[in-house]
């Protein structure tokens, strides 16, 4: 699309939103129902596109993409009427007699910018929330996942009125033009570097933003962890989508007392999951492109490899790889990995954990704690600053629509999924309705002899 076409799309969406056409419960419900049917109808083509772009196994394609969105839609449809209902809240004595209510008002015209790693999920999940909250939305997906972008555009164009939901194809130029337009809310998922560009552009028109970014997410394995369960769940969480998951364990911190036993079990489990030669496994994906392949492959330190380490540039394959005895000076700890390389550090006490996390460049998007002790679990969960996470599990907190998903600090701002998504795409409008059967004069001038009563009421 050229600049004039993009301007027209945004203008028509604003006119459509201002008409009130998106606000009615029935319209929202029927649109979401139609969306759910469309995902079901296009499932085969979506899975084929994910195979083309990311070599994503069909199980992962359904679990993390189409099935995930279907589940999100089911929960949203089931709860939408309740979410839309104005929420009554208490009213303080000072302003009585009155009643107070929170109304959830749609933000308006939204821009949703999605990344390449989960192109379906991270496009459709925020879109579900936007529709549920009564908004219009313009969609821009990553130019890297061309097959997925094609099927996303096909689904959107065939399902929605472009005045309601519109897809804008293109690359960086089109994204730049979009960011020059006036939106009521921008929802961006991607890197912190690009997130800062989005936020800077939004600041020019004081547009609110939701930023779902990345970060180096720690996974801590304490000496009392159930190691067989821990290795099963860490391998599943780390090597899902060939490690290209924003909330994947980015590095392990393993207690020194169990490090050797744990590494042995980790190696065995990776081979069980993907075979001696993971390039032949139908359950393991590929890096998205050559640029990202080269970046991640350069992080592998051959002398530190416990398992894996093999690469094949021809098909962008990097084996599930574990690196031992890593320090903060190694390149693999200098940025979010976003690939199938798992560095392992060790620790003895909590301070080593806190010191390591504090020295890394971004707040973690997620954190994972494996321990059988409630005291240890609480100590680490409460002391570490991170977006969200799991105890004795990895990544699966994302699959619970009742939990907010989002970052903190440099890993993002704002959270969504389920009601949290509905709320994120809404403005919480606080309204107080005062009675007229009584008119108390305490706050009216003149104020003589009223301050003492005001002090009593405002204690």
Given a contact cutoff of 8 angstroms between Cβ atoms, the answer to whether 307 and 273 are in contact is no
Say which of 212, 336, 410, 423 is annotated catalytic: 212
Token pair, residue 319, equals 């084996």
Query: Any catalytic annotation for residue 394?
Result: no
Cα–Cα distances (Å) from 313 to 106, 233, 281, 298, 339, in that order, read 47, 28, 17, 12, 14
Q: What whole-number distance in Å separates Cα of residue 113 and Cα of residue 202?
A: 13
- Of 195, 110, 124, 108, whose CA–CA distance to 417 is shortest? 124
In sign, the C-alpha dihedral spanning 260, 350, 360, 195 is positive
How, if at all, do strands 388-391 and 251-255 pair? unpaired
Query: Any catalytic annotation for residue 246?
Result: yes
Given a contact cutoff of 8 angstroms between Cβ atoms, the answer to whether 273 and 308 are in contact is no
- Of 55, 39, 67, 119, whose CA–CA distance to 314 is shortest? 55
Say which of 246, 336, 394, 423 is annotated catalytic: 246
- For residue 414, which phi and psi values (nearest 5 degrees)? 90, 150
Cβ count near 445 (within 10 Å): 7
How, if at all, do strands 366-370 and 218-221 pair? parallel
Instruction: Give the DSSP letter of residue 442.
Output: T
CB-neighbour burial class of residue 21 (10 A; exposed 0-12, middle 13-18, buried 19+): middle
Q: For the chain, how far is it from start to end, CA to CA, in angstroms?
A: 60
Q: Which residues does the annotation mark as catalytic?
A: 212, 246
């Amino acid at each position: 699309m050229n600049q004039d076409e993009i301007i027209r799309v945004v203008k028509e969406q604003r006119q459509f939103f201002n008409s009130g056409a998106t606000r009615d419960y029935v319209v929202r419900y029927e649109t979401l129902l139609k969306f759910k049917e469309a995902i079901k109808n296009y499932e085969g083509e979506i899975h084929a596109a994910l195979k083309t772009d990311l070599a994503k196994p069909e199980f992962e394609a359904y679990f993390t993409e189409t099935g995930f969105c279907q589940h999100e839609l089911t929960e949203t449809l089931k709860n939408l009427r309740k979410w839309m209902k104005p929420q009554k809240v208490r009213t303080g004595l000072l302003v009585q007699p009155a009643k107070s209510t929170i109304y959830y008002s749609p933000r308006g015209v939204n821009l949703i910018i999605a990344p390449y790693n989960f192109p379906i999920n991270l496009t459709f999940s925020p879109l579900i929330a936007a529709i549920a909250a009564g908004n219009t939305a313009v969609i821009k997906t990553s130019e890297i996942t061309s097959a997925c972008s094609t099927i996303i555009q096909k689904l959107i164009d065939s399902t929605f009125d472009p005045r309601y939901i519109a897809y804008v194809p293109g690359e960086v130029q089109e994204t730049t033009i979009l960011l020059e337009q006036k939106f009521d809310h921008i929802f961006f998922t991607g890197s912190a570097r690009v997130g800062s560009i989005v936020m800077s552009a939004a600041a020019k028109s004081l547009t609110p933003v939701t930023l779902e970014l990345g970060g180096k997410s720690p996974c801590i394995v304490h000496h009392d962890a159930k190691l067989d369960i821990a290795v099963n769940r860490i391998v599943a969480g780390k090597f899902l989508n060939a490690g290209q998951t924003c909330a994947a364990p980015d590095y392990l911190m393993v207690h020194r007392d169990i490090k050797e036993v744990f590494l042995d079990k980790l190696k065995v489990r990776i081979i069980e999951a993907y075979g001696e030669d993971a390039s032949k496994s139908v359950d393991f994906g590929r890096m998205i492109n050559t640029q990202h392949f080269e970046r991640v492959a350069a992080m592998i330190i051959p002398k530190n490899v416990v398992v894996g380490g093999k690469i094949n540039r021809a098909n962008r394959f990097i084996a599930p790889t574990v690196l031992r005895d890593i320090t903060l000076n190694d390149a693999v700890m200098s940025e979010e990995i976003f690939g199938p390389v798992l560095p392992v550090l060790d620790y003895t006490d909590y301070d080593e954990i806190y010191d390591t996390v504090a020295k890394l460049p971004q707040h973690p998007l997620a954190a994972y704690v494996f321990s059988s002790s409630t005291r240890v679990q609480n100590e680490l969960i409460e002391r570490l600053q991170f977006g969200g996470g799991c105890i004795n599990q990895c990544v699966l907190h994302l699959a619970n629509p009742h939990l907010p998903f989002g970052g903190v600090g440099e890993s993002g701002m704002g959270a969504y999924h389920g009601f949290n998504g509905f709320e994120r795409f809404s403005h919480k409008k606080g309204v107080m309705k005062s009675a007229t059967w009584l008119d108390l004069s305490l706050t009216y001038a003149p104020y003589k002899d009223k301050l003492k009563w005001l002090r009593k009421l405002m204690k």
